Amino acid sequence: MKLSDGIEQAVHSVTMLASLEDGQVLSAAALATFHGVSPSYLLKHLQALSRARILATVPGPKGGYHMAKKPERVTLFDIVIAIEGSQPAFRCKEIRRNGPNPLPDKAFTAPCQINAAMLRAEQSYRNELRKVTIASLLEQLSEEDRDGAITRRACAFLEGHVRASKT
């Protein structure tokens, strides 16, 4: 299964926003700069996350994004669904019914086993994504940053880019 680059950008952006204090926001431009990605592409995904009520926005030139939910309540599954949609990755077109010498419909009473296997695999994948919260990712990232270099880099960037929310 291939997920769009937007998933990686969305997860990293949500993780960064989850580290902000109450009343703070970051602009889409600042998030794009920090991650070295296209601002317009990232903005599209931030808007999808806002529509899904994972993020909230503060409008205006001093506005930006902040978490709409607590990091404990946002899973990787929530983010993937917000960006990619809820349709299954595999969509059976029943091509087993195509080709020369087609059989009548009564020959296909059982569900397509290829479709069934793909749907089971996707369900497992989705269940694993549901287990990982943004809060647990932040905890893991903190544990992995043994010398503090990643945290210092993020903090230095945030000092110059965090905005106080008017709400």
Is 13 contained in some domain?
A: yes
CATH number at residue 45: 1.10.10.10
**Whole-number pLDDT of residue 167:** 52
Mention every residue, 6+ apart, whose C-beta is less than 8 A from residue 79: 7, 10, 11, 14, 49, 54
Over pLDDT 70: what percentage of the chain?
98
Is 165 in contact with 62 (CB distance < 8 Å)?
no
The mean pLDDT value of the chain amounts to 92
**Whole-number pLDDT of residue 126:** 95
End-to-end CA distance of the chain: 40
Q: Which helix (H) or strand (E) segment is 13 a member of?
A: helix 5-18
pTM > 0.75: yes
pLDDT tens-digit readout, 134-163: 999 999 988 888 888 888 899 889 988 998
- By DSSP bridging, strand 55-58 and strand 163-164 are unpaired
Count: domains in the chain: 1
Is 126 contained in some domain?
A: no
Is 68 in contact with 53 (CB distance < 8 Å)?
yes
Domain containing 73 equals 5-86+134-164
Is 104 contained in some domain?
A: no
Is 79 contained in some domain?
A: yes
For residue 1, is pLDDT > 80? no
Q: For residue 98, give Cα distances in angstroms to 36, 95, 102, 165, 167.
A: 47, 5, 6, 58, 59
**CA–CA dist 44, 17 (Å, integer):** 16
Is 42 contained in some domain?
A: yes
